[in-house]
Amino acid sequence: MKVIVPVKRVIDYNVKVRVKPDQTGVDLANVKMSMNPFDEISVEEAVRMKEAGTATEVVIVSIGPQQAQETIRTALAMGGDRGILIKTDETVEPLAVAKLLAKVVEEEKPDLVLLGKQAIDDDSNQTGQMLAALLDWPQATFAYKLEKDGDALTVTREVDGGLQTLKLATPAIVTVDLRLNEPRYASLPNIMKAKKKPIDEKAPGDYGVDIAPRLSVVKVTEPPVREAGEKVEDVATLVSKLKAAGAI
């Protein structure tokens, strides 16, 4: 089966974000950017499917500025076959991302689109589900385990209270959760090889999709700061403090 894996370039997981003093957003100047961690898990899963012979081709798609090409290269170094960069410097909301991806799907005709369950910048957790709706495809979000079962997919999902298993007709949308796999680090030879893999460059206009935002930022502020309390000497002191505070 042919697999499309969309990837997003986001602020690195380890960077502490700072809100801009003018409250228009967060400061991204000179901040380390990386592939969204959940997207690394989806790339890894697609590459493993290819290694296991269940996937025939893995196409990496990113929507973003020119630098998003680096994110695509990272995914290609992990084992993706080729890339598509839909270049824009605008903020593209999940609904518009899903519409662009739906057009890519119409052209590429994959059997599976594997996405991260959420991006760690806007924490929206929407794109996969929206893409499934636009295409009228079945969806399995928060995948813990993914198996090909003839023409169908059996997906076990992380849900509140435990796990749920669904059977999906293909083509299908799957969004991945933390425990699905442990993404690999690309080896140096594979990084070199990835430089030669093709990346098509497109623009949102090529797909005729209106990416005008539906949401506008009123302001972005710092969350209330929680003050550090006190250090206690020992367990007995802790217990008496908790009793005094009415916590136990």
Partner 1 sequence: MAVLVIAEHDNASLNDATHKVVTAAAKFGGDVDVLVAGEGAGDVAAAAGKISGVRKVLHADGASVAKQVAEAMEALIVPLMDGYDAVFIPATTMGKNIGPRIAAKLDVMQLSDITDVIDTDTFERPIYAGNAILTVKSSDAKKVITVRGTAFDAAGEDGSASVEAVDAPAGPFKSEFVSEQMVKSDRPELAGAKRVVSGGRALGSKEEFDRLIVPLADKLEAAVGASRAAVDAGYAPNDYQVGQTGKIVAPELYVAVGISGAIQHLAGMKDSKIIVAINKDEEAPIFQVADYGLVADLFNAVPELTEAL
DSSP track, 63-117? EESTTHHHHHHHHHHHT--EEEEEE-SS---HHHHHHHHHHHHHHH--SEEEEES
Q: How far apart are CA 116 and CA 6, in angstroms?
A: 8
How far from chain centre, in Å, is Cα 217? Answer: 22
String marking each residue 51-70 x if it binds partner 1 according to CB under 8 A: --------------------
Q: Which amino acid is at 146?
A: L
**Between 195 and 231, CB nearer to partner 1:** 231
**Between 160 and 188, CB nearer to partner 1:** 160
Q: ∠ at Cα 44 (41, 50), nearest 5°? A: 145
Which pairing describes strands 33-35 and 9-11: parallel, antiparallel, or unpaired?
Answer: antiparallel
Query: Residue from 21, 53, 150, 161 that binds partner 1 (CB under 8 A)?
Result: 161
| Least distance to partner 1, CB of residue 81, Å | 27
> Reduced to 3 states, what is the DSSP secondary structure of residue 17?
coil
Under the criterion CB under 8 A, does residue 21 sit at the interface with partner 1? no
Query: Residue from 50, 72, 79, 137 that binds partner 1 (CB under 8 A)?
Result: 137
Query: Residue from 31, 163, 192, 203 that binds partner 1 (CB under 8 A)?
Result: 163
| Least distance to partner 1, CB of residue 140, Å | 7
Under the criterion CB under 8 A, does residue 188 sit at the interface with partner 1? no
| Least distance to partner 1, CB of residue 157, Å | 8
